[in-house]
A = this chain, B = another copy of it.
Amino acid sequence: MVVATLKQVAAHAEVSVQTVSNALNAPHRLRPDTLARVNASIELLNYRPNRNARSLRTSAVELIGYCVPSWPNQTHLVMDQFLHALCAAAERTGRHILLFTAPPGVEGMPVYDDLHARRLVDGFVLSQTETRDPRHGWLKEKKIPFVSFGRVWKESTQPGAWVDVDGAAGSALAVRHLYETGRRRIAFLSWPKTSGLAEDRLDGWRSTCAELGLPTAGLAVRCREDTFAEGARATAHLLDSPEPPDGIVALSDILALGALRELTRRNLTPGRDLGVTGFDDSPLADVAAPGLTTLRQPMDEIATHLITTLTTQSHAAHLLHPTLVVRGSTAPG
């Protein structure tokens, strides 16, 4: 299919190519009648500006790189939600998302560098941020634009802009909700200490319990990995203790589902006998009987902040708040 060029439109409208370019990029510079004539030609010839030519000239490709994560042991159940939100937010600014794969950590950085140097992307959205994530410093030093979904934890400052969801606030919402439904011994299912995300959410649980005068000693359990079996194992451990909990805040929907499974196995009814909450409002939450109360991340808000922060090259930091989606797993006890 052959497409019209600026030159052809100019010839058709009997103006210079410059004027057609202005009609597109700075219409206020044209006299109304000229603009109308040019627009008519554009319409008639079904003209679409060649983005490569534009990018070559302006050295901006309007493409944002995003590394598609692949974890062997970790499932990303809300990735489709995130990607859709990110894509929609990018499109609202005339941009698009370019997907790529790269090894994790610093080993993947040459891939980022290459994509940027070859002008395939203007910058990057980072996610799956890890403790002392090496990517941020690396990109900053190379002066490659980026924004991070997730903080580099336990650092007062971190290189570059970031957007994140307040995990401690999430735990607080969960604990208070369980408290309001009558729970007084609320446990926490966590991940290994290496996860900053886990520490943040754990802190929220601990401080909120303290505020409400609830016990925490012996009620935090570390799971080895984010699996159903680990959630069940940790729950079994808690239930077998001398003073079992009546509420469980789990760090993820998967751990929470593991907890639900263990309850069911012991003929306990989630919601009635024990309140359970998860994190992320993944599709799982709706699938589990009797529905999992969970913390939803504001995906559209996250995506919008990521894109605007990246494209304005601001060094902003946005800490957003999750919301609690209440389902059967925390029916009043």
Contact = CB atoms under 8 A, between A and B. Distances in A.
Nearest to A143: B1
A288 B283 CA distance: 13
A77 interface: yes
Main secondary structure of the interface of A (DSSP, over half): mixed
A84 interface: yes
B69 A117 contact: no
Contact of A91 (B49, B76, B101): B101
A226 to B, nearest CB: 10
A55 interface: yes
Interface stretch (A33-41, A92-100, A183-191, A307-315): A92-100
Interface string A206-247: 000000000000000000000110000000000000000000
A264 B77 CA distance: 24
A84 B70 contact: yes
The copy count of this chain in the complex is 2
B50 A118 contact: yes
A-B pairs with the 10 shortest C-beta distances? Answer: A75-B283, A48-B117, A97-B99, A52-B55, A228-B287, A52-B56, A79-B80, A70-B84, A51-B118, A48-B118
A144 B56 contact: no
A284 interface: yes
A1 to B, nearest CB: 5
A87 interface: yes
Interface residues of A, number: 56
A287 B257 contact: yes
B101 A99 contact: no
Given A77-B77, A79-B80, A98-B63, A48 B91 contact: no
Contacts of A76: 80
Contacts of A266: none
B119 A50 contact: yes
Contacts of A97: 98-100
Most buried by B among A50, A68, A98, A258: A68
